[in-house]
């Protein structure tokens, strides 16, 4: 029966082998390298006192699309639970699941709550910067502390975890996601003008400031110029003498930069207060990490509010690393060294070599030229005359 | 805007926090322990010369439901690719993906091909033995060797990987999946009688042998009795003096048991030649591993044929460990020890402790009773007077 099933389908794989766009098979040594990167990141998170949690890949739609998840609604795969006929979704982000945990099962766990995670996320559409539709997201959330020290810890941890996996020449870009909204709301613009102004600020397009009343135009023009190294931008931002919540945000940014300067002496700090794209759900300071050796951003994070229901809101600060970006930024791993054990080599010899941390490849049949066979199988070494010899 | 979105949804999580049946949040220390088990299994696979590969969670339906995947068709989640409108499925098993890789991208890689994998699989329905609908499958495939040594290696690796994660008292149950089919096909029964006989043999129900012609009834009765320790069952099976392919299968079983006896002196060997359930796709000897400390089976595997298209079939031998079963069989991990660093502790102290392999929890704000705060946060130790003290 097996044979006939197989025969009917002969050549099936050859014809159907294509994967959907944006999904891929990771092969050796890449798949192993990615696994090791995830483990190394997680070890750093755990060393800073974060507890690993692992929420499922699938949730009910109304649970996963809530809160931070709402931003991802359009790009999540939907599926039906055949048991309950309730719509479910595949997660496109893990941050929202941390919020759910904090507000439910871990509601009465002591604060601040430190959670770490690593797992696959899936999206219906790849983007230009991220063409893959499945990738691993690893990160942390520090939940329940409004202190500045929370941002400092999370940023320091993001930096430490990237350094641990060999990323050098890091720069940290700080954003003030709510600032633009706070300043624009003071202008009493109609919805259309409001949106065009936010876009102009995001694009740093001075020409787009025409909708701003004259009394404020100078301030916005100067704000657009406030982009670059923290030590030049921070004085410029302070000179704007913003009042109220906007002023408090700038003051907090100043204190954060002071603290980071003391703690992260080898990380370049930049500020981009008008950057809002991708930080829509952030309620305070946001950040992204770049490296001279990488094309795009390696990690991003910031502060947002978790809806705890009747218990009100909780401040949360966290960051995520995306493994596809990280993999593109590290030196590709070499193929592992392997020792070929010709057929008939004692099993105790293989066991002892593996115990010493070597990888062995056992010959399954007698061959006339074991050295040739070892090379054919991609081994770097062979067991011969009672010792390991390089090929 | 953020505040008002959040307010509208106040209490949302509290109402909607339920996960679909069979999906769950793994919390600390369980999620960490599972991650470590997967890493430890993978390290053993790599030590035996297997290369890690990582196929995607999603494939086109006609690709993933082919071959070994066909067995899982009824229990796989389906979803639509919005790009191409082609139906896709979430993998319910990784073995079939290894077949696909062997027959396509790794078609010209040298044989035998040794592949290792670990990742999530999802199923629409939980079973009685496995109520979860998402769990991690980790395993290997040794592709392109018909040698007996291939079975020996894969079984030895399964045993080694389980021992490495602390499973003791292992027993190995060997099955002969095609044997029943080979013997029943000789009887010239109609379809109904054929099926009822296979069921009777699987259930070891002697009463169900009434459909067997008299000349063969004694043989089948004795076959049903052939269940138990390898050293008693093997002579009984040999006494049946089966001819043709059935006889060859028994002879191979004998040689395998000899080889395993020499290599695995602390594993109890049993034989169950009539067991076919769950081994439907196996083309040769199958096996399952049990432990005195575990309820169900911990690993299963065996030999099957991969359809290589125009290039014909390839013999493959492999096994899988399911992490839900494994987690149920290992001692639950204790919560990790953590050292509380009161607010203001120098960052170099935390760095040095982490460098030494400790986990630290930084106090984010000044508190009057650091010892109390450390306990509240679940720490086992505190940094006080220039040293680490137990709480």
A139 CA: distance to closest CA in chain B (Å): 14
* Percent of chain A surpassing pLDDT 70: 93
**Residue B130: predicted pLDDT:** 80
A277-336 residues touching B, CB cutoff 8 A: 281, 283, 304-305, 307-310, 313, 336
Q: Rounded mean pLDDT of B197-213?
A: 92
CA–CA distance, B32 with A183 (Å, rounded to integer): 44
pLDDT number for residue A274 = 87
DSSP letter at A129?
S
Question: Which tens digits make up the pLDDT trace of A257-272?
Answer: 999 999 998 999 999 9
pLDDT average, residue stretch A307-320? 88
Give the confidence band of A3 by pLDDT, cuts at 50, 70, 90. Answer: very low
Residues B189 and B192: their CA atoms lie apart, in Å, by 8
pLDDT digit string (tens) for B126-158? 887 788 999 999 999 999 999 999 999 999 999
* A372 inside 8 A of chain B by CB: no
pLDDT tier for residue B278 given thresholds of 50, 70 and 90 = low
Q: Which chain B residue lies closest to A356 (C-alpha atoms)?
A: B47
- CA-wise closest residue to A218 among A240, A188, A233: A240
Quote the CA–CA distance of A287 and A125 in Å, as a whole number: 24
pLDDT the model gives residue B131: 85
Question: Which residues in chain A are contacts of B53 at CB distance < 8 A?
Answer: 25-28, 31
**Which B residues in the span 24-53 are in contact with A, Cβ-Cβ below 8 Å?**
24-29, 31-32, 34-35, 39, 42, 46-49, 51-53
Mean pLDDT along residues A377-389: 97
Each residue of B1-54: pLDDT tens digit? 344 444 444 455 555 558 999 999 999 999 999 999 999 999 999 999 999 999
Cβ-nearest to A48 among B32, B360, B377: B360
Q: Which two tokens stand for residue B149?
A: 């040594």
Among A288-302, B104-118, B233-247, B299-313, which is the least confidently predicted range?
Answer: B299-313
pLDDT bucket at A1, cuts 50 / 70 / 90? very low
Confidence of residue B56 (pLDDT cuts 50, 70, 90): very high
CB A180 within 8 A of CB A344: no
Highest mean pLDDT among A82-91, B295-304, B354-363: B354-363
Q: What is the mean pLDDT of chain A?
A: 91
Mean pLDDT within A346-358: 97
Indicate the pLDDT class of residue B193, thresholds 50, 70 and 90. very high
* pLDDT given at position A4: 40
Residue A131 has what pLDDT?
Answer: 85
SS3 readout for chain B: CHHHHHHHCCCHHHHHCCCCCCCCCECCCHHHHHHHHHHHHHHHHHHCCCEECECCCEEEHHHHCCHHHHHHHHHCCEEECCCCCCEEEECCCCHHHHHHHHHCCCCCCCCCEEEEEEEEEECCCCCCCCCCCEEEEEEEEEECCCCHHHHHHHHHHHHHHHHHCCCCCEEEEEEEHHHHHHHHHCCCCCHHHHHHHHHHHHCCCHHHHHHCCHHHHHHHHHHHHCCEEHHHHHHHHHHCCCCHHHHHHHHHHHHHHHHHHHHCCCCEEEECCCCCCCCCCCCCEEEEEEECCCCCCCEEEEEEEEECHHHCEEEEEEEEEEHHHHHHHCCCCCCCCCEEECCCCCHHHHHHHHHCCCCEEECCCCCCCHHHHHHHCCCCEEEECCEEEEC
Asked if B213 contacts A37 with a C-beta cutoff of 8 angstroms, the reply is no
| Cα separation values, A200 from A186, A197, A224, Å | 17, 5, 9
Write down the pLDDT at residue B13: 55
Asked if A309's CB is within 8 angstroms of B122's CB, the reply is no
Q: What is the mean pLDDT of chain B?
A: 91
Q: Picking from A8-17, A305-314, B253-262, which range would have the lowest pLDDT averaged per residue?
A: A8-17
ipTM of the complex: 0.94
CATH (residue range A18-165+293-333)? 3.30.930.10
Nearest Cα of chain B lies from the Cα of A176 at a distance, in angstroms, of 14
Q: Which residues of A touch B365 (CB under 8 A)?
A: 145, 147, 149
Backbone angles phi, psi at B360, to 5 degrees: -115, 150
pLDDT category, A349, cuts 50, 70, 90?
Answer: very high
Token code pair at residue B35: 């991650």
**Amino acid B126: pLDDT:** 85
Given a contact cutoff of 8 angstroms between Cβ atoms, the answer to whether A141 and A268 are in contact is no
What are the Cα distances from residue B22, in Å, to A121, B134, B299?
A: 19, 7, 21
Distance CA B43, CA B168 (A): 19
Give the ranges where chain A is alpha helix by DSSP (H).
2-8, 12-16, 30-47, 61-64, 95-103, 148-164, 177-185, 191-202, 214-225, 230-239, 244-263, 323-329, 347-355, 370-376
Residue closest to A183 by CA, chosen among A223, A235, A233, A226:
A223
> Which pLDDT does position A65 carry in this prediction?
75
Q: DSSP labels for A133-202? A: SEEEEEEEEEES--SHHHHHHHHHHHHHHHHHTT--SEEEEEEEHHHHHHHHHTT---HHHHHHHHHHHH
User: What is residue A7's predicted lDDT score, i.e. its pLDDT?
Assistant: 42
The response to whether A93 counts as a known ligand-binding position is yes
The predicted-structure confidence for B337-377, as pLDDT tens digits, reads as follows 999 999 999 999 999 999 999 999 999 999 999 999 999 99
Angstrom distances, CA of residue B96 to CA of A23, A102, B122, B281, B307 = 17, 38, 14, 11, 11
* Angle at the Cα of A218 from the Cα atoms of A212 and A221, rounded to 5 degrees: 80
CATH of A169-290, one of 3.30.930.10, 1.25.40.20, 3.40.250.10, 3.40.800.20: 3.30.930.10
Residue B171 has pLDDT above 70, yes or no: yes
A209-260 pLDDT tens trace: 999 999 999 999 999 999 999 999 999 999 999 999 999 999 999 999 999 9
Please give the pLDDT value at position B380: 98
Nearest to A107 by CA among A306, A318, A320: A306
Partner A contacted by B356 (CB < 8 A) = no
pLDDT at A296: 84
DSSP state of A309: G
End-to-end CA distance of chain A: 45
Q: Give the integer Cα–Cα distance in Å for B102 and B109.
A: 8
Band (A9; pLDDT cuts 50, 70, 90): very low
pLDDT band at A146; cut points 50, 70, 90:
very high
Tell me how far CA of residue B340 lies from CA of A102, B348, B359, in angstroms: 22, 14, 9
Write down the pLDDT at residue A42.
98
């Amino acid at each position: 029966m097996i044979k006939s099933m197989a025969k009917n389908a002969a050549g099936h794989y050859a014809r159907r082998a294509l994967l959907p766009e944006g999904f891929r098979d990771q092969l050796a040594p890449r798949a192993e390298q990615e696994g090791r990167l995830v483990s190394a990141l997680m070890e750093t998170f755990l060393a800073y006192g974060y507890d690993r949690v692992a929420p499922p890949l699938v949730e009910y739609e109304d649970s996963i699309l809530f809160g931070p998840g709402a931003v991802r609604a359009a790009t999540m795969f939907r599926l039906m639970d055949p048991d309950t006929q309730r719509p479910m979704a595949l997660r496109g982000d893990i941050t929202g699941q941390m919020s759910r945990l904090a507000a439910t099962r871990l509601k009465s766990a002591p604060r601040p709550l430190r959670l770490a995670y690593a797992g696959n996320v899936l999206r219906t559409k790849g983007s230009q910067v991220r063409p893959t539709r499945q990738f691993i997201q690893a990160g942390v959330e520090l939940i329940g502390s409004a202190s500045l020290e929370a941002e400092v810890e999370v940023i320091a941890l993001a930096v430490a975890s990237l350094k641990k996996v060999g990323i050098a020449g890091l720069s940290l870009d700080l954003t003030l996601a709510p600032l633009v909204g706070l300043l624009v709301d003071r202008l009493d613009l109609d919805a259309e003008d409001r949106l065009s102004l936010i876009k102009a600020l995001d694009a740093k397009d001075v020409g787009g400031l025409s909708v701003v009343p004259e009394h404020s135009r100078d301030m916005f023009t100067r704000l657009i110029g406030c982009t670059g190294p923290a030590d030049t931008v921070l004085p410029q931002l302070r000179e704007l003498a913003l009042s109220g919540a906007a002023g408090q945000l700038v003051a907090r940014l100043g204190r954060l930069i002071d603290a980071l300067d003391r703690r992260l002496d080898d990380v370049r700090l930049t500020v981009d207060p008008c950057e809002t794209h991708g930080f829509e759900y952030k309620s305070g300071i946001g950040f992204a990490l770049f490296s001279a050796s990488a094309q795009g951003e390696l990690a991003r994070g910031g502060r947002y509010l978790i809806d705890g229901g009747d218990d009100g809101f909780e401040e949360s600060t966290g960051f995520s690393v995306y493994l596809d970006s990280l993999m593109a930024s590290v030196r590709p791993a070499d193929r592992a060294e392997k020792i070929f054990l010709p057929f008939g080599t004692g099993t105790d010899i293989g066991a002892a070599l593996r115990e010493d941390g070597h990888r062995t490849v056992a010959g399954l049949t007698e061959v006339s030229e074991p050295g040739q066979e070892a090379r054919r199988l991609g081994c770097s070494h062979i067991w011969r005359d009672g010792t390991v010899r390089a090929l």
